[in-house]
A and B are shown apart, each in its own frame.
Chain A
Amino acid sequence: NAGVTQTPKFQVLKTGQSMTLQCAQDMNHNSMYWYRQDPGMGLRLIYYSASEGTTDKGEVPNGYNVSRLNKREFSLRLESAAPSQTSVYFCASSEDNPPYEQYFGPGTRLTVT
């Protein structure tokens, strides 16, 4: 049982390049999330998906797109990376029953130059 996995672990992009961050969970959870964390700050919600086929914007969605490929996988795409998107990106999934505990992946450290 791997929990929540993310790839890649590290990535360096040039401004304007695109890339997709991958996330998968093996806990059969319906809800999945993407957060970003800037240095010295708490996590901020980018997008979330309450179930397969649905996605919703979070607090900071601009510059990102998401795809809920199936129940297991939830990807985050940067179409045209900007230095302001340099951050650590965390994927999470949530239990479907109270207390809706969220389980987080190890993170992807992205630098945009």
Chain B
Amino acid sequence: DAKTTQPPSMDCAEGRAANLPCNHSTISGNEYVYWYRQIHSQGPQYIIHGLKNNETNEMASLIITEDRKSSTLILPHATLRDTAVYYCIVRVGYSGGGADGLTFGKGTHLIIQP
């Protein structure tokens, strides 16, 4: 799986949009971008994933650049409960039935300020 680069930490004011960048310049054509988050030492939680189109769900939006070398996770109205470590993961999405594990980096520690 390709490697990702994320800033180690970010701050965001409560109620504002939090934009978390991820660089994956060596991504291959069949690799998907996944985002998970980990709140205070709990188990990680899936947020969203995408291949090349922008995606939105009830938790967040994912913007992937046209060349697919970077992406941004957007939390539209951050709350204090969004304080967590956010992991950007690139994987060959559907090969092998998805049984292979995830490769986590150190992620971005997002701190929502009141």
Q: Is the CB of B43 within 8 A of A101?
A: no
Residues of B in contact with A (beta carbons under 8 Å apart): 32, 34, 36, 41-46, 49, 87, 93-94, 96-107
Instruction: Please tell me which stretch of A69-77, A78-86, A88-96 contacts chain B, meaning at least 4 of its Cβ atoms lie within 8 angstroms of it.
Output: A88-96
Please count the residue pairs between chain A and chain B whose beta carbons lie under 8 angstroms apart in the complex: 72
Q: Which residue of A lies closest to B107 (CB)?
A: A42
Complexed CA–CA distance, A48 and B96 (Å):
13
Option from B43, B49, B94, B101 in Cβ contact (under 8 Å) with A58: B101
Q: Assuming the A-B contacts A43-B104, A44-B104, are A99 and B99 also in contact, with contact meaning beta carbons closer than 8 angstroms in the complex?
A: no
Known contacts A99-B49, A100-B97, A101-B46; 5 additional CB pairs below 8 A are: A94-B99, A102-B44, A103-B43, A105-B43, A107-B42
Complexed CA–CA distance, A87 and B56 (Å):
35
Which residues of the other chain, B, contact A33 by a CB distance below 8 angstroms? 101
Which of the four size classes fits the interface of chain A?
20 to 34
Identify whether the interface residues of B are mostly helix, strand, loop, or mixed: loop
Residues of A in contact with B (beta carbons under 8 Å apart): 4, 30-31, 33, 35, 40-45, 48, 50-51, 58-59, 88, 90, 92, 94-96, 98-107
Which residues of the other chain, A, contact B99 by a CB distance below 8 angstroms? 30-31, 48, 50-51, 94, 100
Q: Is the CB of A98 within 8 A of B94?
A: yes
Q: Assuming the A-B contacts A92-B43, A106-B43, are A45 and B102 also in contact, with contact meaning beta carbons closer than 8 angstroms in the complex?
A: yes
A29 CB, min distance to chain B CBs, angstroms: 10
Which residues of the other chain, B, contact A88 by a CB distance below 8 angstroms? 41
Complexed CA–CA distance, A98 and B49 (Å):
10
Q: Is the CB of A50 within 8 A of B43?
A: no
Complexed CA–CA distance, A96 and B94 (Å):
10
Which residues of the other chain, A, contact B105 by a CB distance below 8 angstroms? 42
Q: Is the CB of A99 within 8 A of B104?
A: no
Q: Which residue of B lies closest to A92 (CB)?
A: B43
Q: Is the CB of B106 within 8 A of A42?
A: yes
Which residues of the other chain, A, contact B43 by a CB distance below 8 angstroms? 4, 90, 92, 103-107
Complexed CA–CA distance, A51 and B46 (Å):
22
